[in-house]
Amino acid sequence: MAVNEARDPRAAASHFQFQGEVVALEPYGNGHINDTLLVTCRTGAAPAHYILQNINRSVFPSPAIVMQNIERVTAHLGRQLAGTPDGARRALTLIPARDGKNWHVDGQGETWRAYPFVEDAHGHETATSAEQAYQAAHAFGRFQHLVSSLPAPRLHETIPDFHHTPKRFAALERAIAADPMNRARLARPEIEFALARQSITGVLIEANLPERITHNDTKFNNVLLDDASGEGVCVVDLDTVMPGLVLYDFGDMVRTTTSPAEEDERDLSKVTMQFPLFESLVRGYIDSTRAFLTAAERQFLAFSGKLITFEIGIRFLTDYLNGDTYFKIHREGHNLDRSRTQFKLVESIEQQEEKMNRLVESVAVA
Ligand code: ADP
Ligand code: GN1
Ligand code: MG
């Protein structure tokens, strides 16, 4: 991942209360949005590691509201986990800047934040076992449970209408009509696929489900699994924690965990919704959300997988048509490839949806 050269991570790092002297800064992870760096500091003992991030201002036009949310959410998680075994690794905590604030704004108006690096745990691009799927779903469900008791006021909407699928669909229609890069001719089958499914876009919004605090970006690589035990130890990427429907989170787990292929896989024969992984997601999620999940929410678990996969597919397709202005890309046609894998997965879910619904019912009554 290339880090924007115009920004100065080394200067930014000097503003945080890291332990010891910064000896290395290197790009880290596979996020599509922020610039993420691993910071290594020399101390008297073992090196200390941190994550330093620059918030993407074209995606988050108001980084301050992102940080205000994260400040409240991390403090709330920290209070609940204090004194529990391994509590410090189970939630992100902000490293303060030298001026005592919880983030740093540099001379160019760029916003930086830092977290302790969670050692001996990693995010993975794909799940390789049913147990990993269970662990991821359990961790994201536990996260929803822990944040459900956050005291008022309501969190800021860091990206309004983030999971408003009908509005995402309307944005796609605008991109098709404007076609600023003359790329629509290269994406005809994908455009047809998307347009044929408009009818599903409003289902969750019209279902009258409870608003809760949700993560909204529960990609499999946004939960760190413990290297030794495999346990889902820490949920990361908190920029979009805000009011939402729990199904946005479960849906994105289905999208990113049940297929053995990576999000940008070009060999579509590898993209399929693997039923045993879906079953593990359902079990892990229901096990950690029993305290609050309603029957109305449960009945959309399978559907949410289809909807959110479709939604992210149309976002990739829209970005391709608009000239790749939102998601970081690493090759020509990258966003088109990403939309193709999403749509292949939607098809695979469509083929198994009834069976998936029956499974959810059987787990719920067990
Ligand atoms: P983006 O919003 O660009 O996806 P993330 O916040 O998800 O950025 O960070 C990118 C990746 O860095 C994550 O997927 C995760 O693997 C890793 N990561 C983020 N924070 C930490 C942390 N505190 N400790 C260890 N790894 C982290
Ligand atoms: C982005 O930040 P990252 O890479 O975890 C995006 C998600 C998409 C995802 C697709 C703020 O997530 O909404 O589902 O890419 N985040 C934002 O991989 O738009
Ligand atoms: Mg991420």
Task: State residue 115's pLDDT score.
Answer: 98
Task: State residue 194's pLDDT score.
Answer: 98
Query: Could you tell me whether strands 223-226 and 111-116 are parallel, antiparallel, or unpaired per DSSP bridges?
Result: unpaired
29 lines ligand 1 (CB under 6 A): yes
| d(C-alpha 322, C-alpha 355), whole Å | 37
Task: State residue 1's pLDDT score.
Answer: 44
Which tens digit of pLDDT belongs to each residue from 273-313?
Answer: 999 999 999 999 999 999 999 999 999 999 999 999 999 99
267 pLDDT exceeds 60? yes
Task: State residue 21's pLDDT score.
Answer: 96
Mean pLDDT of 126-136: 98
Residue 196 C-alpha to ligand 3 middle, in angstroms? 30
Where does ligand 2 bind, in terms of residues with CB under 6 Å?
A: 31-33, 59, 217, 219, 222, 237, 239-240, 263, 312
Statement: 9-117 belongs to CATH 3.30.200.20 = yes
Three-state DSSP at 29 gives coil
Q: How many CB atoms lie within 10 A of CB 344?
A: 22
Residues 6 or more apart in contact with residue 92 via CB below 8 angstroms: 70, 74, 77, 115, 116, 118, 234, 235, 236, 238
- Angle of CA points 262, 190, 316, to nearest 5°: 50
Task: State residue 214's pLDDT score.
Answer: 98
**Model's pTM, two decimal places?**
0.97
* Tokens 């409870």 belong to residue: 210
Three-state DSSP at 148 gives coil
Averaged pLDDT score across all residues of the chain = 96
Three-state DSSP at 323 gives coil
Taking CA atoms, 148 is separated from 70, 286, 344, in Å, by: 14, 15, 34
Query: Please, which pLDDT band fits residue 34 given cuts at 50, 70 and 90?
Result: very high
Taking CA atoms, 304 is separated from 308, 315, 317, 322, in Å, by: 6, 16, 19, 26
Mean pLDDT of 314-326: 98
Q: Which residues surround ligand 3, an ion (CB under 5 A)?
A: 31, 222, 237
DSSP string, 150-196: PPSSPPP-SSTTTT-HHHHHHHHHHHHHH-TTS-GGG-HHHHHHHHT
Task: State residue 6's pLDDT score.
Answer: 62
Residues 294, 310 contacting (CB under 8 angstroms): no
* Tokens 């509005």 belong to residue: 167
Which tens digit of pLDDT belongs to each residue from 238-264?
Answer: 999 999 999 999 999 999 999 999 999
Q: Parse the chain into domains and list their residue ranges.
A: 9-117, 130-365
4 pLDDT exceeds 90? no
Q: Is 209 exposed, middle or buried (0-12, 13-18, 19+ CB in 10 A)?
A: middle
Q: What percent of the chain has pLDDT over 90?
A: 96
Task: State residue 100's pLDDT score.
Answer: 97
The one-character DSSP state at 84 is S
Residues 6 or more apart in contact with residue 206 via CB below 8 angstroms: none
Task: State residue 364's pLDDT score.
Answer: 82
Task: State residue 2's pLDDT score.
Answer: 47
Angle between helices 188-195 and 334-365 (to 10 degrees): 30
Mean pLDDT of 95-122: 97
94 lines ligand 1 (CB under 6 A): no
Which tens digit of pLDDT belongs to each residue from 106-117?
Answer: 999 999 999 999
Taking CA atoms, 55 is separated from 31, 32, 278, 298, in Å, by: 12, 12, 33, 34
Within the chain, where are the H helices?
Answer: 9-13, 63-81, 130-147, 165-178, 188-195, 246-257, 275-289, 295-298, 301-322, 334-365
Best mutation site among 28, 32, 324, 325 for ligand 2, i.e. most ligand atoms within 8 A of its Cβ?
32
Statement: 130-365 belongs to CATH 3.90.1200.10 = yes
Q: What percent of the chain has pLDDT over 70?
A: 98
Query: Please, which pLDDT band fits residue 206 given cuts at 50, 70 and 90?
Result: very high
Counting from 1 in the atom list of ligand 2, the atom nearest the Cα of 219 is 5
Task: State residue 101's pLDDT score.
Answer: 98
Mean pLDDT of 126-133: 98
43 pLDDT exceeds 60? yes
Best mutation site among 74, 115, 219, 224 for ligand 1, i.e. most ligand atoms within 8 A of its Cβ?
224
365 pLDDT exceeds 90? no
| d(C-alpha 127, C-alpha 133), whole Å | 6
